[in-house]
Chain A
Amino acid sequence: MKELVLLGDEALALGALHAGVSGSYGYPGTPSTEILEYLVDEFETRGGPVARWCANEKTAYESALGVSFAGKRSIVTMKHVGLNVAADPFMNSSLCQIKGGLICVVADDPSMHSSQGEQDTRYYADFAMVPLFEPVNQQEAYEMVAEAFELSERLAVPVIMRMVTRLAHSRAVVHVADTARAQNALEKGSPADWMLLPALARKNYAKMLDKQTTLREWAKDYPRNTLALNPARKDLAIVTSGLGKNYLAENMAEYADLCGKEGLPSILHVAALPFPADLIRSLAEKVETILVIEEGMPFLERQLAGILPGRVKVIGKLTGSLPRTGELNPELVRAALGLPARATALDGFKMPALSARPPQLCKGCPHHDSYSALNLAVERLNAKEGKVSTVVAADIGCYALGAVAPLKAIETIVCMGASIGMARGAADAGYKYAFGVIGDSTFLHSGLTGIVDAVASKTPMTVIILDNSIVAMTGCQPTMLPSNQLEKAVIGLGVDPAHLRVIEAKPNMIEQNAAVFMEEAEHRGLSVIIMVRECLEAHRLRKKKESAAGEASK
């Protein structure tokens, strides 16, 4: 046994290595990024098992499936919204007889610290009828990986591990093994189990339904689903899931005082899905009310309300005992338990007006220069038409910060790749000048297909690819293809080379670049403009690496 200080994400990654993972894939997305980062580092610098960044979550999931078909253990990592992109292979994989254990690690972001939605991955587990593991601390994140792989192989199902921001990005000491389990032998799955032709898929679907009984049995006995019964307390019982358990524990000492001689309510912690219905029934037998403390959406609360007899009242996020949105924390749980708020240094303090300090583009960021040129072009185009004739749709990445003052350059942010599709829609709807702004990595993630549509329909629109050579927002992961390949890819998709412009995003070229934007906007067909300049962070990292390499070769 060793002791290491690890982020929740890192603990999970190390757990995968120690559980004999053979292939890991993913697309960067906060708060999941550090999982694959750790594994890629292990692969690239120490020759560990294969770990690779992918173009998007769907291709990552498909690669992991290939590893599983070949008999070996694989994981695929993404943030919650990434599972929407991978939903197609994910849902269908639940009908394959998984061979080598496959874990889909999804990091949810309650409170949207850096996301577009709060989406709760437990709904996907329920939708696909696959098991889901939910660690509550770094140690569990490390240990559960092995348990998840075993269940995946035993029942031949893909398994989800749900992380949340607060655990993914917290550090603590983790006790880890000194050795790793050996990787599985190379051995193909049976084609009948993996070819979802209708006749076979129907059989597999029946098999999946059959597995549900075994899964429910498993959930009842899974030792991390813990039930502490107190038959003396009749008015209330508590169900926790995810970090709800920790926030309850945080208040336990004071809550025990409050509960007095009647004692604490019965408490069930749900560490994994499917929902351990038998345990819930024993909990519910004699109580009047069940309080559900869960991180994310009111998932268990709804399920409970569905299975419990009408005399038991279920309270939680749907009934207002806890807020419906945002991240849980100790205070919210404290209030739900009926404990009074604590005194703070703020009581009686005269707070001066504090200014907000929103995130912003780095000083000197190339996006700033691209947007300044675009703003100039937009202003002139609208002035020329005498009315608003422009739409600027964008996407997710550092360049999303172009939404705020002083730039205010973009009008939409929906999901990876939506910029191109939305610009096309706006053009179809009648806006004369439609711009889709997309980063280089996002373009490879899900912009290519949008270009194909626009080529096919000869849509008059202008796609601007902000090529800063890196996935900057998530901490500078590599873009799948280097800058000089983007051009070829765009032309390969059928874009007229006469309307593919590659220009530099430089501060002294703003006038000149605005003129290029205006020129291409006037073209009544598809234009693609690639704005090239390295991200400052990427530049710094590259220089550091180069000088380290230089030192080493001396």
Chain B
Amino acid sequence: MTYDIILAGVGGQGVLSIATIIARAAMIDGLTVRQSEVHGMSQRGGGVQAHMRIADGPISSDLIPTGGADMILAMEPMESLRYLSWLKPEGILVTAAEPFVNIPDYPEVETLYAAIRTLKRSRIVAAEALAREAGNLKSVNMVLIGAASSSLPVSEKALAQSVHDTFAKKDPKLVDINMKALALGEKA
């Protein structure tokens, strides 16, 4: 089994924390993980993308081949489309609905939604509202992971454990909020 995910978003949105949580869950399940990230220039509000590969055997390349990704998981709609050539024809695209506008010429968001909906398997998640419902706007990441979780090759238990481990050290209150966000995402 191999499962390849392209994580997309804008510098500062927390793309890498999504990667960390999924990677940790995969490791709890005893799977192999490789994750490649972009640094430097792209951190200052530019588009960022991370390649995450999960397998039950060795993984040779850090980069996912084009047409090889099983999923695109995006923090915002325009970035979800930017890396479409990586996605398998039957691959799934999950994106937060809310656009991240830090440029003057951001396209009509309805046009983006319409295009996304033409894909065989796509989901646009109202992540902000759900994060707010969970109790913290910052848990958008967790809502998205929840929304993607039924397709991810990791067990529910491992995912919960990973979220717990990530936040327990920081602040126990965050554990509950993020677990709730994860659950709301799953149901979305």
A-side interface residues toward B, CB under 8 Å?
5, 30-31, 113-114, 166-167, 169-173, 243, 245-247, 249-251, 329-331, 334, 341-347, 349-362, 398, 401, 473-474
Contact = CB atoms under 8 A, between A and B. Distances in A.
Interface in B48-94: 59-68, 78-79, 81-82, 84-89, 91, 93
Interface residues of B, number: 54
Contact of B115 (A170, A342, A352): A352
A334 B67 CA distance: 12
Given A5-B33, A172-B33, A401-B44, A351 B61 contact: no
Contacts of B33: 5, 171-173
Contact of A360 (B44, B63, B86, B93): B44
5 contacts: A344-B85, A349-B115, A351-B84, A355-B105, A357-B47
Contact of B103 (A30, A243, A355): A355
Contacts of A247: 60-61, 63
A191 to B, nearest CB: 42
A341 B107 CA distance: 30
Given A173-B33, A349-B119, A246 B60 contact: yes
Q: Which of A171, A251, A355, A361 has the most CB atoms of chain B within a 10 A radius of its CB?
A: A171
Given A344-B85, A351-B84, A352-B111, A173 B27 contact: yes
Contact of B38 (A169, A347, A474): A169
Contacts of B114: 352
Contacts of A346: 84-85, 87
B45 A360 contact: yes
A170 B11 CA distance: 17
Contacts of A360: 44-46, 102
A251 B68 CA distance: 12
A249 B36 CA distance: 17
A204 B36 CA distance: 43
B138 interface: no
Given A30-B39, A169-B36, A170-B62, A354 B44 contact: no
A331 B68 CA distance: 10
A241 B74 CA distance: 34
Most buried by A among B23, B37, B63: B63
B87 to A, nearest CB: 4
Contact of A344 (B46, B59, B79, B87): B87
B81 A354 contact: yes
B17 interface: no
B107 A246 contact: no
A330 B65 CA distance: 5
Contacts of B11: 359
Given A172-B59, A398-B44, 10 more contacts: A113-B38, A114-B41, A169-B38, A171-B35, A173-B32, A329-B65, A342-B68, A346-B84, A353-B107, A357-B10
Given A171-B34, A344-B88, A344-B89, A31 B39 contact: yes
Contact of A359 (B35, B43, B89): B43
Contacts of A249: 60-61
Nearest to B31: A173
A219 B67 CA distance: 38
A474 B63 CA distance: 23
A247 B67 CA distance: 15
Contacts of A334: 65
Given A114-B41, A343-B89, A350 B63 contact: no
Interface string B101-112: 011011100011
Contacts of A170: 34-37, 62
B42 interface: yes
A329 B62 CA distance: 9
Nearest 6 CB-CB pairings of A with B: A114-B40, A342-B67, A359-B46, A249-B60, A30-B40, A345-B87
Contacts of B36: 166, 169-171
A503 to B, nearest CB: 25
A331 to B, nearest CB: 5
Nearest to B59: A172
B102 A113 contact: no
Contacts of B91: 345
